[in-house]
Structures are given as structure tokens and as C-alpha cells.
Structure 1
Amino acid sequence: MAESRAPVHVTGEVVATKRIGGYRHLTLTAPGVPESFRAGNFVAVTVEGHVARRALWVHRVRASSAFGPTLDVVVETRGSGTAWLAAQPVGARVTITGPLGRPFALPKDPVSCLLVGEGYAAAPLFPLAERLRERGCQVSLLVSAPDEAHLLSALEARRSARSVTVLTADGSVGQRGTVADHVDDLLVRSNADVVYAAGPTAVIRAAAAAAERAGAWSQVAVEVPTPCGTGLCHGCPLPVVGEDGVDRVIRACTEGPVVRGDRVRWEAM
């Protein structure tokens, strides 16, 4: 599994903020974080009035801009912490730790890859698609959401992959249905050797199961609450089967969030 570099703890700045559908997209400066980022890493942001930090997937990294290297994150308001973060204006200072966690491992040779993501949690698949294309891999992308407002970057997806499938549960855009309804067919059509997935547990479990049925290798970015993001609090247990076949619990924020799909003990999630 790929390793990320040592994280840094820095004060960054909000340099752009934009509402797109059901999400708030923030562009942040965070000296040292974009330079060390690998697809699948996340960052933890300190939230005013809260002990636990908010873990955010990195959607895009820009190596150069008018503000120097920046990173984009996607925020869905779910409580007071994310509401505070989404409300931060341009110029606001924020405390950021990152990059955190194990990123996606990249194939050594050009292979066919299927990327499966739902909602804002599909964010890490976009920088992953760029890295895979740089390595000569054929990339197919499936992006899904309950409805159009929560579909992440469908237009950008078409620039990131050879083929794109858009699903919404209510049929408001793209095909109607869920990942579980379509992923087996997409695996056959893409002839994928590797499946990468990010999203709610039901989505990544369906992708991992489809990969196993097809004889493909899978990696999933698991999303569980990560109060500290650095492994100190042990507050993000992830049940897995070790390489030795023994059941164990790892910390999602350090030994994850990216793990092999066939190693997750899904029934214990």
C-alpha cells in the first residue's frame, strides 16, 4: 500500500468559496500540504467551538495559482461544525493538518480501471483519475448521488475519464438507480482490472463485492468519523482481516482510509 509523507500542521487561508448544488467548495492555501498530497489523502480542519476536527476529502490540488499551491475541498453541511466551515468567507484563516492517511496505491503497469464514487465522498477519485491517466491507464468513472444537487462534478468527470456513467437514485440526471444496480455491468463493459471506490459504506461494499465476483482487485476509501485525524484518539475503528487471515481493528485515519476491498469486514462496519 502506498504511504503518504509526514503531515504538517499549518494555518491556511480560504482564497475562494463557491456553492455548487448541495455542497460548498472551498479553495485553501495550506503551506506544505498540496506539495505532499497523494490521491486518497485527506485533511483535518480545526472547527471553532469544537474539540473534534472535521476530516475533508481533497477534491483537487493546484500546484500553482495566484496564491501558490492550493487545495480544494468539498463540504456538505451536516451539523454545526460543517456549517461553520462552509460559512467561512474569503480571507478567513483556518488551521489544517495534512495530508493524512494512506492514499490509493497506483498500478505499476497501465491497466483498465473503474472508479466508483457517490456524493461529496467521490472527491478523491478526481485526482486519482489524473494520476492513473498519467500512467497510461484506461479510466472509466461512475459518479452517483441521491439527486442532481448532490452529484459531484459530473461535467468535470467527463474530462477526467475515458467513459463516464452518471447515476441518480431519483433519475433526475443520468441513469436512474444505485451503484449496486449497475456496477457489475460497468465492470464487464470496462473490462477493469482494478476497481477504486469512495463513498458511503453501501456503495464501496457493492463495488468491492462486484470486483471480487469479476476477479478484479479493489481499493476502497472508507469514510468513518475521525475525531483527531492523526491516530492519537483511536476514535475511528475499522474492522479488517489482516494479511495473516486474523480479524483485527485498525485506525481508519492512519492505516486507512484506503484499504483493500476484500480485507474489510463489512458485516462489522
Structure 2
Amino acid sequence: MAGSPVQVTGTVLTTRRVDAYHALTVVAPGIADRFRPGHFVTVAVGGRDSSLLTRRAFTIHDVKPDYGGTVELVFGVRGPGTAWLADLRARDTLDLVGPLGRPFPLPRDPCTCVLVGDEHGAAPMFALADALQQRGCRIDFVLGAPSADRVFGALRARRMGETTTLTTEDGSLGMRGKVTDVLPGVIADARADALYACGPMETLRGVTAIAVELGVPVQVAVEESMACGIGVCMTCVVPVIGDDGVTRMVRACTEGPVFRGERVRFDDVGTIPFDALGAPGGRHV
């Protein structure tokens, strides 16, 4: 059942450590029903009396039909909000809103897809792989991180993928280097028809450059800081080129987080390009 996002008070079903990351499974039927790969949720953190006012955004790793519908979130501890989440235990409650954002578009016909996940950016790639395989697509994974404990989902990728290539910057798992170092070879060997990627902006920039050079369509799920997740606060804007060739500052939480890679002006992320529509001294309606 697709439709508008819902706000749910979910009960934590399980918590677990996955190397450097934490995984929370939450009973959230309304969200699970509406989920598509690439969707995210926002979560209230800190408890009812907390001074942590803004929600935290997390892509959904997995959904299951158990208990009417569960969602699993994967995250690393980066500050007080994620530290609070990491301390939750089974039967605690969590306030979630979702599913939010634009999910990954799926090909109409069976094709060969390379899925690139850097660090816990790999988390949404497995639900995507399921959806692609249901359409008869071949899946090849490229997963990477600075170190072995931050590579997410290697075993599951090996089970699901035709091939799985792992990279770490310190050489502790797989090939030494970054996902972008091995990606051209994987694309060539698989004869890839499409690329999907999620991870830090610098990784997505490199993946997109490779895809453009090799003429392979690429969909990227950007990782931008989001305070509201519903398009109000404008903290997550990125410069994106529209169908008409005009650059606009668009909200990753509503128009994204998934974009065609070549449309995102990665070199200008964090700025308002002078030629963007409405920019000071730039284009105006």
C-alpha cells in the first residue's frame, strides 16, 4: 500500500551490533506497508524531555511482515542523538515518521545492475537488490569502507550477488583502496546496464564520474543532513540540473534522496551556484 507517510509510535523488537554499527528493528506496520527501496524515516531522539529537538533521518535497511510489519535501521554513533538510539533496548518505544523521500526507480526489463555501497550506505542496497532480482535482474555488489569493521553486509552481498567486490582503505578486507578504484573493472566484467549507489557525497561524486565516462545510467541516494525530513527546513538542499537544463536548489528529503547521478552538481554541493535559479546575482523567475 503506497501512500502518504505516517507517524508511528513503534516498539523496539531487537537491537544488535553489526561490527561498527548498530541495528534497530522496530514494529512499525504503517511504515512497513508503504516502504519502497530507498525510502527513509525520521526518528525523534532523546526522549520526551530532551533538548534534542530535531529528528534524525535513516534509510530503511529492511522490512519484514512480522508483527504486522517491522523496519530495520542501521547507523553509526555520531553524536548525542545516535548515542541515545544505540542505548535503546527491546520493548522501548520510538517515534518514527515515514516512509519519506523518493525511492529508487526500478528498470522495466531485466538487466544487469551494479550496486555500490560505501560504509553503512550499503544498508538500503539489499532491499533494492531483492526488488531488482524479482524483476529478473542480475546483481553485482561493490562494497567498501575505510576498514573491515565498517564494511556493511559483506556476507549477505555474497549470498545475493552474482559477484561481490569488497574494498577497504587500510587493506583489512578485500582489495586495498576505495570502491571507485575497482568499479570500472566490475562494470566492464558484468557488462552493467545500470548503476545504483549510496554513501558519502565524495563517493557518489566518484561513482557518477565513472558512470558518465562509461555511459552507464546511475541512480544515487545522497547523504545530506536533514533536520525535518519533510521539506520545510531547507537544510538538505543540493544543486540539481532539471530536465530543462536549469539548476535548482532542491530538497534531498522530498525531491530525493535518490537522483540521477549526472544531474547532481557534486562539485557545488554546500554552495548555491551562481547560475542556479533564484541565486543571488543569478537566474530569476
- Give runs of ≥4 in structure 1 deviating > 4 Å: none
- After superposition, what is the alpha-carbon deviation per residue over 1:39-87, rounded to whole angstroms, capped at 9, x for unaligned? 0000100012211101011111112x2x331111102000000000111
Q: Distance in 2 between matches of 1:92 and 1:130?
A: 30
Q: For residue 46 of structure 1, what is the aligned residue in structure 2?
A: 44
Measured in 2, the distance between the counterparts of 1:61 and 1:162 equals 23
TM-score, structure 1 normalization:
0.96
Report the residue type matching 2:10 in the other structure: G
Contact 2:198 2:221 in 1 (8 A): yes
Distance across 2 between alignment mates of 1:161 and 1:5? 31
In structure 1, stretches of 5+ residues that fail to align are none
Summarize the alignment of residues 176-255 of structure 1 with structure 2, pairs less than 5 Å apart.
176-255=176-255
What is residue 115 of structure 1 aligned with on the other side? 115
Q: Which deviates further from its counterpart, 52-61 or 250-259?
A: 52-61
The answer (yes or no) to whether the contact 1:196–1:218 under 8 Å persists in 2 is yes
**What's the counterpart of residue 31 of structure 2?**
33
- Pairing 1:12–2:10 present: yes
**2:29 alignment partner, SS class:** coil
Percent same amino acid among aligned pairs?
Answer: 45
Cα distance in 1, alignment partners of residues 109 and 74 from structure 2:
31
Q: 1:166 is aligned with what amino acid?
A: L
Q: Which moved more, 1:157-166 or 1:143-152?
A: 157-166
Q: What is the rounded CA distance, in whole Å, between the counterparts of 1:5 and 1:196 in structure 2?
A: 24
**Structure 2 counterpart of 1:75:** 75
Q: Which amino acid aligns with 1:186?
A: V
Structure 1 residue 31: Cα displacement: 2.4
- CA–CA distance in 1 between the matches of 2:145 and 2:261? 21
Residue of structure 1 in register with 2:145 after alignment: 145
Provide the C-alpha distance between the structure 1 equivalents of 2:190 and 2:207, rounded to a whole number of angstroms: 14
Is 2:20 the partner of 1:22?
yes
Measure, in 2, the Cα distance between the counterparts of 1:62 and 1:31.
9
Q: Secondary structure at the match of 1:44?
A: strand
Q: Alignment partner of 2:110: what SS? A: coil
- Does structure 1 conserve the Cα–Cα contact (< 8 Å) formed by 2:205 and 2:266? yes
Give the 5 Å matches for 1:123-134.
123-134=123-134
Aligned to 1:170: 170
1:189 partner SS: helix
Q: Distance in 1 between matches of 2:3 and 2:143?
A: 29
Q: How many Å separate the matches in 1 of 2:247 and 2:202?
A: 21
Instruction: Tell me the SS of whatever aligns to 1:140.
Output: strand
Q: TM-score, normalized by length of structure 2?
A: 0.91
Q: Which runs of 5+ in 2 are unaligned?
A: 270-285
Task: Output the CA distance in 2 between the equivalents of 1:181 and 1:236.
Answer: 28
User: Contact 1:117 / 1:203 at 8 angstroms: preserved in 2?
Assistant: no
What RMSD over aligned residues (CA atoms) do the two structures have, in Å?
0.9
Q: Partners of 1:200 and 1:250 in 2: how far apart? A: 18
What is the aligned partner in structure 2 of residue 59 from structure 1?
Answer: 61
- Counterpart CA distance in 1 for 2:32 and 2:262 is 30
